[in-house]
Structure 1
Amino acid sequence: MVITGVVKVFSAGGNLKNVQGDTYDAFVTRKRLKQIHQLLHLIRNVEKPIIASRSAFFIQSFVKVGALPDFGALHFLTQIVGPHRAKQLMMLGDRISAEQAFQLGMINEVVDDDELIDRANSIANTLAEGPSLLIGLIKQLVNRSTNVTLEDFLEIERADKAYAFKQRM
């Protein structure tokens, strides 16, 4: 996944007019969030690294508009940066640079703007030439490891390792 920062915004969030006053419909909001949550699962399971251009930035600005963070931000950010830093980022709504996001473990790599596409292509070629099933399993197992006990995870690992070896043959 490539985050360029080339245009004004990658994602500015929802239209606040849709969730205010007489036009607010909780049922419609829940339905919309369910669809977005399905998209989040797809994005989370993308079996590729995330790189960003140096000019990209990240911000959890929900607090600045009186909204609770959504799209799994409370969950994902807490897992990635820890509860103290997640609270700081979400309660203050401060903008952080791509370099800061890298240092916090939010993205895999930061490159100069003019090198982004070449680097993304290089990574894509490396992954395309690699064992795609194995690369996908690695990401899936890392994602699952945060939600299960060690004993349960080791059982999953045994099953997936046997599957991966069988696929190599």
Structure 2
Amino acid sequence: MAYRFISAEKAGDVTTLSIARPEKLNAITPNVFAELTDAFDAGLADGTRAFVLTGEGRAFSSGADLMPDGAGYLGLPEDLGAIIDAHYNPFTLKLMSLPVPLVTAINGPAVGAGLSLALAGDIAVMGRGGYLLLAFVNIGLVPDAGSTWLVASSVGRQRAMKMALMGEKVSADDALAMGLIAEVADDDAVLTRAQEIAARLAAGPSKAIGLIRRQINAAVDETLAQSLMTERDNQRACGHSEDFKEAIAAFGEKRKPVFKGR
């Protein structure tokens, strides 16, 4: 499929997806969600074992596009709940349920719903010149696209409240200190670093890695007893995998395992 609002590039087992609306700071529309959804599905069908998500130009994403784009998008509707139900929530759930890891390369500002996409990465790498911003309160709205859960589960109630209620920028260094992101890199090295991480994950036991990401995401809301059962079920599945058998064989033969993601 030829894309108009995003770009997709596969190198080895890693697919890099970029929101490609740099003239609008990669503002999000339903068309962006539709093309990203298609690209994730196509990547998985093509054997992708790790994804990188980023934005073209000087921003990761400025969040929802508030204005018509001349390509069929008429701007935000009067009923914001409808567009959230139809596009924002399904896409956030898709990101969180991917069977392979997602690394985000936050190459500039990540604002509003763009912050949600940025923090949905299992490992988020952020450029020193970028910032995160829960901007919703500044226009009389509430956080959406999963940003409430993503921020609160990372930094706790007080810091999440301050971010959401004050609507102030959070620098890359502060985001790292707060636990919102995993790494800070020089602005011109963000994408390269994210792709390096993704390549390492893609070479790993991707079946186990996919279950790990789901397991940790679920643990935020589970009781200890529920988490123990989740761990048991996932461990059972991994114990029957080819990758585990390969790891045992490699250990006995004193060599590095070659994982195939099965």
Q: Aligning the two structures, in what range does the TM-score lie when normalised by the shorter sequence?
A: 0.7 to 0.9
More deviation, 120-129/130-139: 120-129
Q: What SS does structure 1 have at the residue aligned with 2:240?
A: helix
**Does residue 58 of structure 2 align to residue 7 of structure 1?**
yes
Instruction: Please list, as runs of the form range in 1=range in 2, the aligned pairs for 1:67-78 lying within 5 A after superposition.
Output: 67-78=141-152
Question: Cα distance 1:150–1:10, how it changes in 2: closer, same or farther (>3 A)?
Answer: same
The one-letter code matched in structure 2 to 1:41 is L
**Does residue 216 of structure 2 align to residue 166 of structure 1?**
no
**Alignment partner, residue 37 of structure 1:** 89
Aligned length: 163
Instruction: Please list, as runs of the form range in 1=range in 2, the aligned pairs for 1:42-81 lying within 5 A after superposition.
Output: 42-46=94-98, 47-48=101-102, 49-81=123-155
**Alignment partner, residue 185 of structure 2:** 111
**Alignment partner, residue 123 of structure 1:** 197
- Indicate the structure with greater strand content: 2
Q: What SS does structure 1 have at the residue aligned with 2:132?
A: strand
The one-letter code matched in structure 2 to 1:33 is I
The one-letter code matched in structure 1 to 2:89 is H
Determine which of 78, 97, 101 is the counterpart of 2:175: 101
* TM-score, scaled relative to structure 2: 0.57
Structure 1: give runs of 5+ residues left out of the alignment: none
Question: Cα distance 1:90–1:8, how it changes in 2: closer, same or farther (>3 A)?
Answer: same
Deviation string, structure 1 residues 67-112 (Cα, Å, up to 9, x no partner): 1222122222111111101111111111011121111111111100
Partner Cα distance (1:133, 1:125) in 2: 15
Partner Cα distance (1:162, 1:80) in 2: 28
Partner Cα distance (2:187, 2:88) in 1: 29
Determine which of 152, 157, 161 is the counterpart of 1:83: 157
Q: Post-superposition shift, 1:53? A: 1.4
**Alignment partner, residue 149 of structure 1:** 223
**Alignment partner, residue 31 of structure 2:** none
Computed over aligned residues only, the root mean square deviation of the Cα atoms, in angstroms, reads: 2.2
Contact 1:4/1:55 (<8 A) preserved? no
* TM-score, scaled relative to structure 1: 0.85
The one-letter code matched in structure 2 to 1:160 is N
Structure 2: give runs of 5+ residues left out of the alignment: 1-51, 69-74, 103-122, 246-262
Determine which of 113, 119, 137 is the counterpart of 2:211: 137
Partner Cα distance (1:37, 1:11) in 2: 18
Partner Cα distance (2:134, 2:67) in 1: 15
Partner Cα distance (1:73, 1:121) in 2: 24
Contact 2:54/2:191 (<8 A) preserved? no
Q: What SS does structure 2 have at the residue aligned with 1:147?
A: coil
Considering Cα pairs closer than 8 Å and 6+ residues apart, tell me whether 1 or 2 has the greater RCO.
1
More deviation, 116-125/139-148: 116-125
Identity in percent: 26
